[in-house]
A and B are shown apart, each in its own frame.
Chain A
Amino acid sequence: MKKKLIGLVALFVVALFINQVAIMINDAGITMNNRLTTAEKKLSEAKSQYNQSVDDYVTAWLSTGKTFSDTKMQSLADRLTAYSLANNAVHEFFKTYYTFSNADSYNAREAKLRAFTSESILNNDYYFGNPVDSSGENYITVLGLKNKFKSVDVNLMNYDADNIQVLAMAVYESKTNATSYKEGSQMYVINYSRKENKIVSLDKINSSINNTYTN
């Protein structure tokens, strides 16, 4: 009788043991599946980052004035090249134009911009006039006006072998002695001459739109 009972207990223990092993294998499976899911996710991210890198590389490569026999390819390369040229010039221009901290740095912008801005713009008082108010005071100094460039969003309108025309939204921050930095934005239509490698016209657009997208 005793032996039979020991046999029963032994069978029970064996059943428990096998059951426990099954549970452990299932747990290990779940862990492994989770690891596989994580690995797949990471692989997918790495793959898309690589594809983005290739895309960026090809886009940058096509933006350097390449020639192709295929007309569609040529059209794409021309567009990307025109955008890249104008985008670089417009960024350089506004980075300098909207950055000053006193009357001296305000006046120094003109010389800095000369390399890529036409004389007609630099001589235009609307953009580069002497900053004096009606009483003859320098309002940059009087107000303590300071400006910081934030960004410029360049949109390509038209281009040909000689000129590139863009619509640009420049975003900047301004402050005076009495106020802290506040963000502002201004839209411009800009013409860039490929022959002169310069911005040759600048038209301020009166627009109520701001720089943020809302749906």
Chain B
Amino acid sequence: MSRFNKDMAIKLAYILMVFLVGLSCFKLYKAFKDNNLSELSSQVEAKKKQESSYKAKAKQLKANGDNEVKKKVEANVDEIVANQKYNVQDSINQFKTDLNNGLKLLITDTDTKEQLKANKKEVQKLLHSKKLTKELYGFNDNFMNFGTADSIEIGVGKYSLTSENVSFVALVKWTSQDLSQTPAFQKGDSPTTKNVLTIRGEYNLKSQKVVETTVGNVVEEAK
């Protein structure tokens, strides 16, 4: 290699190295910029402190050992209740009314197919569940021959101020033709039977939808 070429190669190598150093410096600058380690570290510490504080407060409250916390909560009950996302009590009462009306309509005699179709639509709205409506109507195509509900009783399970879901049980009683007749539930002169249908489920207060259900079989009322 000529002397000239050697000098050129070294110059080029120097340029490359300087470029590499520059690139590394840029990476270092970017690493510092992207990772503010001291800031991140202080954030982690702050979160940990907050976590410990919440844990300590929860423990105190649970043990009822901290009268100050108790007093503070008692003094702010109105505010605590007012800050709820939705009014639990009103929502539950509305749901109970809807469910009651929906089940009443479900059991009610229907003379025409058109009326049945219209009822189904209304029942679905009132039961807050397409699935439950489908399941109940699916029991028997002759649901329209049920007659009139003797009683509909609805119970609502435990809930607190921030509950999103509440459990419920509905107990529907009605009088129909003897269940031993075939096909079941059809009108006729045969002896009547007192029937019971139980539905359990969960209602979501936020979405105002029935989110889970179990429908029992229709059974004869215990004598």
Contacts and interface: CB of A to CB of B under 8 A. Distances in A.
B51 A46 contact: yes
B89 A72 contact: yes
Nearest to B46: A39
A63 B201 CA distance: 24
Given A25-B31, A75-B89, A156 B153 contact: no
A59 to B, nearest CB: 4
Given A25-B28, A25-B32, A156 B89 contact: no
A181 interface: no
B134 interface: no
What range describes how many residues of A lie at the interface?
Answer: 35 or more
A83 B155 CA distance: 11
Nearest to B59: A53
A22 B160 CA distance: 53
A26 interface: yes
Interface string A75-106: 11001000100010000000000000000000
A18 to B, nearest CB: 4
B8 interface: no
Contacts of A26: 31, 34-35
B222 A205 contact: yes
B184 interface: no
Given A4-B10, A54-B73, A55-B161, A209 B20 contact: no
B48 to A, nearest CB: 6
B160 A59 contact: yes
A76 B159 CA distance: 11
A57 to B, nearest CB: 6
Interface in A40-57: 40, 42-43, 46-47, 49-57
Contact of B87 (A15, A56, A72, A187): A72
Give the secondary structure class of A's interface.
helix
Contact of B88 (A5, A47, A76): A76
A209 B18 contact: no
A73 B78 contact: yes
Contacts of A171: none
A41 to B, nearest CB: 9
B116 interface: no
Nearest to A83: B158
29 contacts: A1-B6, A7-B14, A19-B27, A23-B31, A26-B31, A26-B34, A29-B34, A29-B35, A29-B40, A32-B44, A36-B40, A39-B48, A39-B51, A43-B51, A49-B55, A53-B62, A62-B161, A70-B78, A153-B157, A155-B155, A155-B168, A156-B156, A167-B169, A187-B171, A208-B198, A209-B200, A210-B214, A213-B201, A213-B213
By Cβ-Cβ distance, the 3 closest A-B pairs, closest first, are A155-B155, A29-B35, A209-B216
Interface of A: 1, 4-5, 7-8, 11-12, 14-19, 21-23, 25-26, 28-29, 32-33, 35-36, 39-40, 42-43, 46-47, 49-59, 61-62, 70, 72-73, 75-76, 79, 83, 87, 153-157, 166-167, 169, 187, 189, 204-210, 212-215
